[in-house]
Each structure stands twice: as structure tokens, then as C-alpha cells.
Amino acid sequence: MSESQSESFSNSPHNRQTTDNSPTIPIEIVSEEEMALLEAALAATRSSFSSPAISSICSPSRSSQFQRNARSVHSITLLSKRRLSYCSQSDIEDFGGTQKRNRVPESLLQRFRKNRGLNVTDITATEWCEKQMEFTLLFGKREVNEAMKAGSVRHAKLEEEVVKKVEVRVKSIEDIWALKFLNFITGAKQLLFEGLTRELPLICFVEGVWMVGVVDEVQLPTTDPNRYPVLVETKTRVQDTLPAEPQRRNGRLQLMCYKYMWDSLVADKFPSRQFFDFFSLDPYYLLSEEIQVSTASSGFHVKTLDDVLKCYSNTCEMLLPAHDLLLLRYELQRDNTVLGEDHFTYDPDWVKSQLQGCLEFWLGERKANFILEEEQWKCRYCQFASVCPANSKPDTTPSLEKTNPNGTPN
């Protein structure tokens, strides 16, 4: 994710716009590559994709219309491959109000994710080491090392193979959320027409919390008569070896979380009113002119966030549950060669158990656990090792400033 200068925003309806004289810095929408960086954007543009084809997403009779339009795949141009990224000075968490003093201590979820939702990479980082996650929240994010930068560059290149980004200017938190949902709509349409999409954002309500995430890749296999979408996660490696089991377990958890979220979106009606209330959003606040113009030029007419969410819900209803077989791919950073692929089956009981355990920590129901004794090798790569109570020999551990902050694995 591109770093930017800070600019404050407010959820108040009387203060929702940025200053017009500030420099424009593009920022992607949803973070990815292990707690780090990428945020994806949406689609808009002229194309020979007809208005009825897009409007079908937003209409009650969308399913039959969409199937008829699917026969005209050859007529689709860049519409399904272009996404909008927003130009702003702040990431989404900057829109939250300031913390009040002299309050009863809030949970980590309330303090740090109230205005943006819990990211799937928050879950995987918690599973990796709860104490490291706690330190990261309280004392600052880990530094971005070369391996993380290389991984982010690789994901960006993979996305560019199937998606072209278009920048738009945003003026409100409603605009930012709208782009996230529109990004999903565009990616889902590309999946149905072309059988492949990448960097697909997911936003849903599961296990009593709002969760967000971005799937590296979704495939629609032609060999499967039912055509259940296959979710794929790509991990980059510095060394030409496959990772240890704890790292592979962490990657499996990430993909299973995406599968859990995807199936929830497909099966359940999106709770729009609950979404607006939780994030203090105005459903009828007019989206920025650039968003309206960009979508209207494609025959996709939305004016408010409420319009966008209706289309989002309709799009989800047209999708099938994700395939139970998930794919975790490992690439060598040096030349992008595939080191190996981990095909595994979705385990709903295990992923729900993992989610519930992580949420106990995030909701303040218990203190952070230390890692298991057999996995204490993780401490060698933790930037907080010298100050963590789990370290029995702090004098032999590199200092906080000198430790390589790998955190969760690449």
C-alpha cells in the first residue's frame, strides 16, 4: 500500500470532504500480502458491454439477464478489467473519531478496528503469535522489510495481468466503502465472464464481527460442471524451499477464512442497515462526481452507497459457494518459479474454532497467549523479542531496533 501524508477525516455528516488544494496520492483500497499492503480498486470505463448487462446486477431479474449476456463474452472489452483506485491523503482508519479520555478500557477490536473492520490478515497474524499482534497494535506496525516489498510487488504484477486501475478522487468515507464494494462487483463479473479475477475484496459480517479481506485469485474452472469458484492464495518465498508447517497452517487459515466469508456472502442477505449503523455511514450521501461519472459511463448507474450495496447484494446472489478444495501456491521471489502447491480441503469446524479463539483475544475476553514451546523459533524473527515476557533469555536476543521484523511468514 502506498504510504501517504496524514489528513484527518470525520464521520460527522458536517465534515466529510477533503481539502481541494492537497496533493493527490493514489492509495489502493484493501490491504494484502500478510498484514501489509495492497488495496485494490474498481472498474469503470467505456466498453461495448451493454447497459442491460450491468444493470442486470442491480435489478430483481438480474440472474436470467446475466446468463443471457454471458453468451456475449466476446463483446466484453476492458470494462471487466478496469478498477477504480482512490486518491486521498488518508487510509480508511483515519476516518474514525478520536479516542475519548477517561473511558473504560476498550477491546482491541474497538480501539484499533472499529472504523475499518477486522482484516483476515489480523486473524492470521493473531494465529501466528497473539503477543506479537498485541505489541504491534500497542506500539506500532512492523517495519516493511525487503521480502515484504518484493511480495507486494509480485502481487501487484499478478493483478496487472488481469486488471487495469483507474484513479478517482474521493471526498468521504462513503466513497471509500463504495469503491470496495464496486471493486467486488467488477471482479465477480470478470470471474463469471472470463473465468478468472484477482485481488477481489470481500466484506461481510461473520461470527458477530465485520470482516474484510482480499482474495489473491479466484478461478472458475471449465472442467467442473458445477463451476464452483476456486480460491487461490499466492505466497512468495526468499528461500527456494517450502515453508515450515506453522507457516503452511497460517496460509491455510487465511484461505479458509476467505472461503468462510465467500460462502456467507453467497448464502445470506447482506445486512445493509446493520452495516450503515455500525460504521456510522449515511446510505443516501451522494458519492463523488468522479465515481458517478465513471460508473455511469459503463451503464452502471449508482448515486449513493445504498445503491451500491443493493448491487453488491444482487451480485452475491448470482454466485455459487466456493469450492471445498483450496489452493495455496508458493513462489520463489527471485524468478517467480513455483516451488510447490498445497491443495487442501476446507474444514469448517477448524476454521470456526480458530476464528472464535482469535476473537476472544480481539474482544478482550482473555489476555494474549504466548506461542507454543515447539514454535518459539518464531521469536528469532520478531521485532518485539527483546521486550516480550515469553523470551526467557532477553540478553541473548537481538534488540528491538536490530531484529529483522518478519512477523507472519511471506
* Residue-by-residue DSSP string for 344-404: EE--HHHHHHHHHHHHHHHTTSSPPPPPPGGGGGGGGG-TTGGG-TT-S-GGGSPPTTTS-
CB 107 within 8 A of CB 360: no
Residues 169, 312 within the same domain: yes
Residues 128, 237 within the same domain: no
Residues 257, 377 within the same domain: no
SS3 37: coil
Domain range for 308: 146-346
The residue out of 293, 324, 346 marking a domain boundary is 346
For 310, half-sphere exposure in the C-beta direction (CA atoms, 13 angstrom radius) is 16
pTM assigned to the model: 0.71
Q: What would the grid cell of residue 292 be?
A: 458517478
CA 369/CA 405 separation, integer angstroms: 20
Residues 136, 154 within the same domain: no
Tens digit of each residue's pLDDT, the chain (410 residues): 333 333 222 333 333 343 344 333 333 333 334 333 333 333 333 233 333 333 444 544 444 443 433 333 232 223 334 555 555 433 333 334 334 434 446 899 999 998 899 999 999 999 999 999 999 999 886 666 666 666 667 656 665 666 666 677 888 999 999 999 999 999 999 999 999 999 999 999 999 999 999 999 999 988 778 889 999 999 999 889 999 999 999 999 999 999 999 999 999 999 999 999 999 999 999 999 989 888 887 667 899 999 999 999 999 999 999 999 999 999 998 888 999 999 999 999 999 999 999 999 999 999 999 999 899 999 988 989 888 888 755 443 333 333 333 344 44
Q: How deeply is 223 buried, as exposed, middle or buried, from its count of CB atoms within 10 A (0-12, 13-18, 19+)?
A: exposed
Helices (H) and strands (E) in the chain, counts: 12, 9
**Of 321, 362, 360, 115, residue with least CA distance to 227:** 321
Rg (CA), the chain: 21
Q: Does residue 55 lie in a domain region?
A: no
CA 346/CA 185 separation, integer angstroms: 25
Q: Say what angle helices 120-128 and 245-267 make with each other, to 10 degrees.
A: 150
**Of 410, 397, 385, 357, residue with least CA distance to 135:** 385
Residues 113, 163 within the same domain: no
Chain Cα centroid distance, residue 74: 30
CA 277/CA 289 separation, integer angstroms: 24
Residues 172, 305 within the same domain: yes
Q: Does residue 398 lie in a domain region?
A: no
Residues 131, 184 within the same domain: no
CA 59/CA 52 separation, integer angstroms: 10
Residues 259, 333 within the same domain: yes
User: What's the number of domains the chain is made of?
Assistant: 2
Q: Does residue 71 lie in a domain region?
A: no
Q: Does residue 54 lie in a domain region?
A: no
SS3 95: helix
Q: Does residue 8 lie in a domain region?
A: no
Q: Does residue 17 lie in a domain region?
A: no
pLDDT of residue 90: 39
Q: Does residue 221 lie in a domain region?
A: yes
pLDDT of residue 5: 30
Q: What would the grid cell of residue 149 be?
A: 516489498
Residues 244, 310 within the same domain: yes
Residues 124, 170 within the same domain: no
Q: Does residue 306 lie in a domain region?
A: yes
pLDDT of residue 336: 86
**Of 227, 273, 231, residue with least CA distance to 255:** 231
CB 291 within 8 A of CB 43: no
In angstroms, the first-to-last Cα distance of the chain is 16
pLDDT of residue 167: 76
Residues 195, 266 within the same domain: yes
Residues 138, 166 within the same domain: no
CB 136 within 8 A of CB 407: yes
The residue out of 293, 322, 346 marking a domain boundary is 346
